[in-house]
């Protein structure tokens, strides 16, 4: 994993793929927006975590795919003062989450820095963008939509359902495809942990909804995707997040039952999003 505390952007890396695949991403940039305020961080993790270890866990599932496909990547931890490198070096940006709200930029100024690079990426035709949880809310904000606290917290394994437009979207169809048997599920479980929501940005396409929150996934243009749910989680992360919560035995059993399938769905999506035949 490449860090950016002492950045050098002159070195180029060569990426390899199989003969029948073409890279859509020569290099990925991950933006991570945690907070070192222990009280706020605990709201997400339900326990005191070492931030560096948490970042590695948060990016581990995402990292496995580019590593397998020999795609180089950089992780930027915004709240520690790391400066994002020029986007010219990348053609995919993944914006991960944090426990703060988009409407708290006065308290967390690193979100302002993140919003600037997100806006730049959105306006570049050669950069794909994927926002997860807070990342999706940041995308909505940068596209001019309101972000605000929702009617309640959506936490745990719960269903989303693809919309009509979601059924037509290739990466979403791949997320909906069962990795073991290959059949297509319009409604399936994902891992939620959020209490904020947003209006659908003008010009965006709604791809998926849940019973509690209508705006679960959207696409803007052809290259910008926002997910309220967490496709980046590892099984270890899920169990650690929920270990001190009531109902841990239930969530643990659900995770054991669901995770392998869910991880496969995420990989299906990554392949459709980052690579092209």
pLDDT at 41 over 50: no
d(CA 238, CA 275): 27
Query: Mean pLDDT throughout 99-111?
Result: 92
The pairing of strands 224-227 and 128-132 is parallel
Res. 85 pLDDT band, cuts 50 70 90: confident
Residue 199 lies in a domain: yes
CA 226 to chain centre: 8
Greater confidence (67 vs 36) lies with: 67
Q: b vs e for 38-59, b when ≥16 Cβ sit within 10 Å of the residue's Cβ?
A: eebbeebbeeebebeebbebbb
Distance (Å, rounded) from C-alpha 50 to C-alpha 54? 6
168 in any annotated domain = yes
Q: Where are the beta strands (DSSP E) in 133-246?
A: 147-162, 187-198, 204-209, 217-220, 224-227
Q: How many folded domains does the chain comprise?
A: 1
* 3 within domain boundaries: no
pLDDT score at 18: 42
C-beta of residue 10 within 8 angstroms of C-beta of residue 68: no
pLDDT of 40 higher than 90: no
CB 242 within 8 A of CB 161: no
Q: Report the C-alpha gap between 118 and 220 in whole angstroms.
A: 13
Least confident window among 27-36, 44-53, 69-78, 177-186? 44-53
Residue-wise pLDDT for 207-235, tens only, equals 999 999 999 999 999 999 999 999 988 89
Measure the CA–CA gap between 236 and 87, rounded to whole angstroms.
32
Q: Is the residue at 87 inside a domain?
A: yes
Q: Residue 12 falls within a domain, yes or no?
A: no
**Residue span of the structural domain in which 171 resides:** 22-276
Among candidates 276, 168, 177, 176, which has minimal Cα distance to 219?
168
pLDDT at residue 64 in the model: 64
For the four alpha carbons of 212, 217, 220 and 221, in that order, the dihedral sign comes to: negative
Higher pLDDT, 25 or 225: 225
Residue 17 within a domain? no
pLDDT value at residue 238? 92
DSSP-assigned letters across all residues of 81-109:
TPPPPPGGG-SEEEE---SS-GGGTTT-T
Q: What is the pTM of this model?
A: 0.81
Please report whether residue 171 resides in a domain. yes
Contacts of 161 (CB under 8 A, 6+ apart): 186, 187, 208, 209, 210
**Which residue has tokens 């979601």?**
166
CATH number of the CATH domain containing 33: 3.40.50.880
Q: What is the pLDDT of residue 46?
A: 18
Q: How many CB atoms lie within 10 A of CB 2?
A: 16
CA distance 266 to 133: 15
Whether 76 is in a domain gets the answer: yes
């Amino acid at each position: 994993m490449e860090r950016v505390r002492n950045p050098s952007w002159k070195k180029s890396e060569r990426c390899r793929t199989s003969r029948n695949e073409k890279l859509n991403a020569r290099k990925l940039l991950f933006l991570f927006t945690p907070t070192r305020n222990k009280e706020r961080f605990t709201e997400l993790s339900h326990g005191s975590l070492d931030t560096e270890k948490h970042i590695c866990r948060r990016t581990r599932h995402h990292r496995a795919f580019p590593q397998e496909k020999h795609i180089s990547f950089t992780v930027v931890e915004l709240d520690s003062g790391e400066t994002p490198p020029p986007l010219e070096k990348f053609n995919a940006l993944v914006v991960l989450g944090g426990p703060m709200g988009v409407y708290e930029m006065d308290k967390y100024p690193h979100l302002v820095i993140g919003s600037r690079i997100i806006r730049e990426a959105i306006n570049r035709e050669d950069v794909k963008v994927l926002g997860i949880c807070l990342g999706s809310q940041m995308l909505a904000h940068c596209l001019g939509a309101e972000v605000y606290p929702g009617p309640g917290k959506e936490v745990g394994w719960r269903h989303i359902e693809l919309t009509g437009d979601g059924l037509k979207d290739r990466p979403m169809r791949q997320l909906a495809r069962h990795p073991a048997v290959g059949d297509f599920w319009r409604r399936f479980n994902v891992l939620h942990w959020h209490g904020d929501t947003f209006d659908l940005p003008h010009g965006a396409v709604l791809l998926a909804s849940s019973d509690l929150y209508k705006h679960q996934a959207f696409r803007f243009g052809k290259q910008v995707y926002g997910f309220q749910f967490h496709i980046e989680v590892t099984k270890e992360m899920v169990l650690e997040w929920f270990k001190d919560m009531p109902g841990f035995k239930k969530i643990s059993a659900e995770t054991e039952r669901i995770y392998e399938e869910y991880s496969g769905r995420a990989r299906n999506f990554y392949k459709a999003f980052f690579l092209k035949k």
